[in-house]
Amino acid sequence: MSILVYGAGGLGLYFSARLAQAGQEVILKARSDAALRGKNEPVSITGDGATEEVHGIRVVDSLDGIQADAAIITTKAWQVEDAARDMSAVLPPDAPVLTTQNGIDAPTRATTFLSNDQVFASTVVVIAERTGPLEVRTIGPEASLTVGSPANQPASRASELISALTAAGVSTTWTDDIAAALWKKLALICSYGGIGAALDANVGQTREDTRARGLVTTAMSEVFSVADAEGVTLTESDFSDDMNIYLKGFSAQTTSSMHRDLLAGRPSELEDQVGAVVHRAQRAGVATPVLDLVYASMAPREAQARRNP
């Protein structure tokens, strides 16, 4: 199977490496500097103190002449529409395309240029940080995915891609309610990621401080309230799952990519994560005071990063 991974950030490098190690043909769409290095250098993935070099990944900066059977979009959330436009010219109309972004809007953006039936959404749990053009560092366990179809397509439409991910060591499960899964993940990332960014604190630091931990808990609850107002059913068990991941599932040094981007002065997914919740809360009349504060405190930094990307 030929799989196009669109975006050479931490997640794109991670999926490219694991899929290639499992014997898949991988095409990685990257910027020109990474594509140039990819002609002669492997992708390297570091985790648990060991570094693996992965050869055989085709790194390109243009999709001219490219053919693929499936695609995974691993760009930032605001880049999904451009990625979909680019790949729509080279993918068969029935090729499954998987979005991986945090937030709830990526699948809709992808269908601007791709058919509803071929777009599948996922939630991804993994800490994968890009440390160089072709280098990625992981913290904690291998990735786990929950995959579903916003257009209510059957799992069989994406079965080959799901099988390829599973064979690559990525725990992959199917859900018939991907909207709930996306909101559940958004509650996790908005809470620990948003509070972590506002306080410049990693997960271990917010867990240890009762006040910070309380802010994370409240922020998570606020997202659940907005989801309910949007007609998405999340349960007490879902809330417990999110809290358990935050309290026990993450290593102490974990930070979200939004946090890392904001603190480094790079454009982040603040608008696509915290902003998406805050704006929907305002329209629905739901109070989100903690997330309002996170959004307001980080928005000037985000604006500065976008003026000087």
Contact 226, 286 (CB under 8 A): yes
Taking phi over 0 as left and psi of -120 to 50 as alpha, with beta for the rest, 152 belongs to left
Q: At 295, which helix (H) or strand (E)? A: helix 289-307
Rounded CA gap, 24 and 1, in Å? 6
Residues 102-158: pLDDT tens digits? 999 999 999 999 999 999 999 998 889 999 999 999 988 899 999 999 999 999 999
- For residue 169, give the DSSP letter: T
**Strand partners for 130:** 136
Rounded CA gap, 77 and 106, in Å? 6
Instruction: Residue 279: name the closest of 18, 103, 102, 124 by CA.
Output: 103
For 140, the 3-state DSSP assignment is: strand
Token output for 286: 């739901």
Instruction: Residue 291: name the closest of 221, 241, 204, 229 by CA.
Output: 221
The band of 309, judged by pLDDT with boundaries at 50, 70 and 90, is low
Q: Distance of CA 147 to CAs 14, 218, 220, 294, Å?
A: 18, 27, 22, 29
Give the residue ranges of DSSP H helices in 105-155: 106-110
Residues 178-233: pLDDT tens digits? 999 999 999 999 999 999 999 999 999 999 999 999 999 999 999 999 999 999 99
Task: Quote the pLDDT of residue 306.
Answer: 92
Please name the CATH architecture into which domain 2-176 falls: 3-Layer(aba) Sandwich (3.40)
Instruction: Residue 216: name the closest of 236, 239, 190 by CA.
Output: 190
The band of 29, judged by pLDDT with boundaries at 50, 70 and 90, is very high
Tell me the torsion sign for CA atoms 112, 115, 117, 121. negative
Q: Domain spans of the chain? A: 2-176, 180-307
Token output for 144: 């786990």
Task: Quote the pLDDT of residue 249.
Answer: 87
Other beta carbons less than 10 A from residue 33's beta carbon: 12
Q: Higher-confidence residue: 40 or 50?
A: 50
Token output for 289: 């005071």
Residues 47-57: pLDDT tens digits? 988 999 999 99
Q: Distance of CA 155 to CAs 42, 161, 239, Å?
A: 33, 10, 26
Task: Quote the pLDDT of residue 35.
Answer: 80
Q: At 259, which helix (H) or strand (E)? A: helix 257-263
Q: Distance of CA 244 to CAs 25, 219, 247, Å?
A: 36, 15, 5
Asked if pLDDT for residue 308 goes beyond 90, the answer is no
When pLDDT is averaged across residues 255-269 and rounded to a whole number, the result is 92
Torsions phi, psi for 59 (to 5 deg) = -100, 125
Fold of 180-307: N-(1-d-carboxylethyl)-l-norvaline Dehydrogenase; domain 2 (1.10.1040)
141, burial (CB in 10 Å: exposed 0-12, middle 13-18, buried 19+): middle
Residues 231-251: pLDDT tens digits? 999 999 999 999 999 999 888
Domains 2-176 and 180-307 agree in fold: no
pLDDT-above-70 percentage for the chain = 100
Task: Quote the pLDDT of residue 40.
Answer: 83
Contact 10, 129 (CB under 8 A): yes
When pLDDT is averaged across residues 5-31 and rounded to a whole number, the result is 97
Task: Quote the pLDDT of residue 182.
Answer: 98
**Strand 119-132 relative to strand 58-60: parallel, antiparallel, unpaired?**
unpaired
- For residue 12, give the DSSP letter: H
Asked if pLDDT for residue 263 goes beyond 70, the answer is yes
Contact 93, 115 (CB under 8 A): yes
When pLDDT is averaged across residues 18-42 and rounded to a whole number, the result is 91
Token output for 229: 């107002």
Other beta carbons less than 10 A from residue 208's beta carbon: 11
Give the residue ranges of DSSP H helices in 52-154: 80-88, 106-110
Task: Quote the pLDDT of residue 77.
Answer: 95
